[in-house]
Every structure is written in C-alpha cells, then in structure tokens.
Amino acid sequence: MPLPPTPPPRLLVADQVAGAVYLLDLPDGRERGRVEGRHLAEHAGFLALPGDRTAFVDDLAGELVVLDPYGPDAGRPLVGVSVPVAVPAEHLAADPTGRQLAVTTGLGRNWEPWSDLLTVVDLAAPDGPRSVRVRTRTGEPGVTVLGGADPDDALVVLRHREPGSLTAYRHSDLMAAAPACPPAAPAAELPLADDGHGDAHDPCTGRLFAATGSGVRRARRDGRALVVEEPLSWAGEGRGYYLRLDPVRRTLWSCVRGGPAEPARWPEWTNAAWWHDLDADRTGRLPLGPGLVFRLAVAAHHAAFARVHPDGDELILLRTDSGDPCVTARLPLPAMDGAPRPGGTPWDGVQRRAIAASPGSPFVAVTRGGHGEIHLIDADAAPGASSPVTTVKVPTPLNDGGHLALVCPGEGAHGDPVGR
C-alpha cells in the first residue's frame, strides 16, 4: 500500500489582543482550525512538545493549553489538554520528555513585581493532567526544567534578578505540595548577576544557559545540585537579552544589542547575531544593522532575524549548514502603520513583528502588526528575491505583532524545551 502523504507545515498564529489562535496550512495559508477566546501570554510564547504538539498559556483564563496541530487529521481535537496555572505568565518550559512543565509569573499590566507564584504541571499524572501552585520569590523569573536519570527527578530552575540567582527545586517535591500555595524550599542555589535576561537548556548535555550583561552563564546538573561552568563571552560590545537553541545543528543563538541605553534612542542601537557551537565550543557574531532586533527563528538551513528601523524594516537570513554562519539575504518588509518612532520606546503602544520557523522546513514567517498579515518566505529560495513569497491574512489585526509557531511533522523542535 502507498504511504499516506506527509502533512504540510502548519503555522499557529495567535492574536493575543483579539483573543484568537489560527491554524494555517503552508504555504497556501488555508485555515485548518481556529480557537477563539484564548489570549496567549506573549512573553511566555509557544512551547514545542514531543509528538508535534505545542503549548501556550492563556493569560486571561489562567490555563496552560496544549494544541495538537495535526490531531484533526486523525480525528483528534485541536485543543488536547488545558490545565489551570497562575498568571500573568512570564516564562514557560518543559523537561526533555515534555511531561513535566513549569510556568513562572511576572508583572503583567503592573509597574512593579508583585507575584511570587510558580506553577508546575504533570501532563501524564495517574489521574490525568494536574497542576500545583507554590510560592517562590517575587519578580520576573526565567525557567528551565532539567531532566534526570529518573523521570520523576526533574529539576525546575528559576533564573532570578535583583538579587540574581539560579534556584533549583525538585519537580516531584513541588507536585506534592499542600493546597493554598505554600512557600517552596529550594534544593540548590547558585549566585548569578542581577541583570539576567534570557534562558536556554540543552537536553543532550543537561546544561542550562542564562544571558547576563557580562556573558552567558553556564551551569549543569550534578544530582540535585547545580555546578557552575565557565561563561561564554559576547565576543564584543553589547549583550544579548534572548537565547535560543537550534537543536538540530546544536547551536546557541542570540542577538547582541549595543549603543545608547535610552529606549527612545532605539534607532541607534547596534545589533549582531551571536552564535555558539555547543559541540565545537566555538563562538562568533555577525553585524545585522541598527534598530530593534530581538527574537529570532531557526529554519532548516537558516537563522532568521527581523529588524525594525525608521529607514525600513527587513528580514535577515543567515545560512547555518555550511561552515560558520553567514548572511545570505536581506529582504525588505512592508512598513507597519503604527510602527515605533524615534524618540519613543519601541515596545509601548506601537506595532511589532513576530517571527517563526521550524528546523524541519525552509519557511520563515513574520507578522505585520496591526495589518492582520503574515509574510511567508522560502529561505532556501530567498537569495536574490525582492519580496516575500506570499502574504497570508487572518481576520484579526494582530495588534502588538501577534505571535507565531511554525510546526512541521517530526521536526525535533521540542529539543529546545523553552517557550519562545
């Protein structure tokens, strides 16, 4: 018998302001499903799970939602599981099996840190998916979930600021906590710089990474303890505020920002793509240009960065599968009404761009905030092109830029077990 056709790549498009999540086929943009009344926690983002599933936090309902983008093809619902969690969600991560998750809380629509709640989740608990809330420390902590030799021995590691620390808890201890949000007792703690921002976890080695002003701090698990390793340098001016793992090429990525500290002078910020080959222990960086660059996406053979600037926005593609990364294309993006302007901050009351890709596909998707549009680029065909491959529209405007996740069957994206 002939094998069934491989399903196409699919794009999850979240309009967190309007409260909708769309499921689109690629590259034609045909809608395959829709979840309404769901407001994705944009900072925590989408989290890839094994089995081509994707998780996010609904910041209005206070629920972790697990989507099955290929489930409807096999008679399963698009929304597979929902579990209560504390909000506003700041960061979201899973252990390498995708069973044990953690959700931290942040400021939300408040000016000062006020919540110390941490939620842990077991998606495969004996009586069905279960969540528990405990108290840790007020702030905006990052999170990673380190696996252990015993599946029940995962460590939840919070990356705190002011004072900085890496604080570890046994996931099983947290799941056994009493009701009413009791304080949680750490299993281990390491000092960290006060300016940490950005987290990654390499399941192959068990290392965790935290971005700080002085470099990327590294630690690894040793039983129930954490052991410090030599930090990685930013290899020049500036620092990264975001870390992302390419689990296929085993490369750690960031965008290093330099220039004036004032947010109103964001058009003068310098940006460089920073990378570290985890196996070869080699680091490099490439200039991207001035303006606002933050999150990035990893495609089959490229890393992609969206750059916003008053002189014009662009998508920058770096080839990643043939020696050291190199810039292969700079593609202009249509301007956004309501884009950031010089003299104002690039994130308050302005439109933004979200970006997504999959290590199993050549496609890169980037939003045009406020216009309800997603521009889709075939990165493998992009050099020499002057415009996006196609533009896909959704019914809502994608104010604040929306949020994206690109899913491809068997892609292995869950090898990066931190929400993006």
How many whole angstroms separate alpha carbon 211 and alpha carbon 193? 9
Confidence of residue 7 (pLDDT cuts 50, 70, 90): confident
HSE value, Cβ hemisphere, 13 Å, CA-based, for 206: 17
Answer yes or no: is pLDDT of 387 > 90: no
Partners of residue 65 on adjacent β-strands: 56, 82
Which pLDDT score, from 0 to 100, does residue 1 have? 54
Which pLDDT score, from 0 to 100, does residue 5 have? 72
How many whole angstroms separate alpha carbon 98 and alpha carbon 51? 9
Confidence of residue 2 (pLDDT cuts 50, 70, 90): low
For 163-190, write each residue's pLDDT tens digit: 999 999 999 999 999 999 999 999 999 9
Confidence of residue 382 (pLDDT cuts 50, 70, 90): low
Please check whether residue 366 is in contact with residue 412, taking contact to mean a CB–CB distance below 8 angstroms.
Answer: no
Asked whether the bond before 163 is cis by omega within 30 degrees of 0, the reply is yes
Confidence of residue 313 (pLDDT cuts 50, 70, 90): very high
Asked whether the bond before 27 is cis by omega within 30 degrees of 0, the reply is yes
Which pLDDT score, from 0 to 100, does residue 115 have? 97
Q: What is the mean pLDDT of the chain?
A: 95
Confidence of residue 386 (pLDDT cuts 50, 70, 90): low
How many whole angstroms separate alpha carbon 38 and alpha carbon 58? 6
For 192-208, write each residue's pLDDT tens digit: 999 999 999 999 999 99
Answer yes or no: is pLDDT of 282 > 70: yes
Give percent above pLDDT 90 in the chain.
Answer: 92
Structural domains of the chain in order of their starting residue, each with its CATH number: 10-415 (2.130.10.10)
Question: Where is average pLDDT lowest: 165-169, 346-350, 399-403?
Answer: 346-350
For 27-63, write each residue's pLDDT tens digit: 999 999 999 999 999 999 999 999 999 999 999 999 9
Neighbours of 176 (CB within 10 A): 9
Answer yes or no: is pLDDT of 385 > 90: no
Which pLDDT score, from 0 to 100, does residue 6 have? 81
Helix residue ranges, H only, 62-213:
171-175
Is residue 79 exposed (0-12), middle (13-18) or buried (19+ Cβ within 10 Å)? middle
Which pLDDT score, from 0 to 100, does residue 322 have? 83
Asked whether the bond before 183 is cis by omega within 30 degrees of 0, the reply is no
Confidence of residue 389 (pLDDT cuts 50, 70, 90): confident
Which pLDDT score, from 0 to 100, does residue 223 have? 85
Alpha carbon of 15 to those of 213, 298, 305: distances in Å? 32, 22, 21
Which pLDDT score, from 0 to 100, does residue 366 have? 98
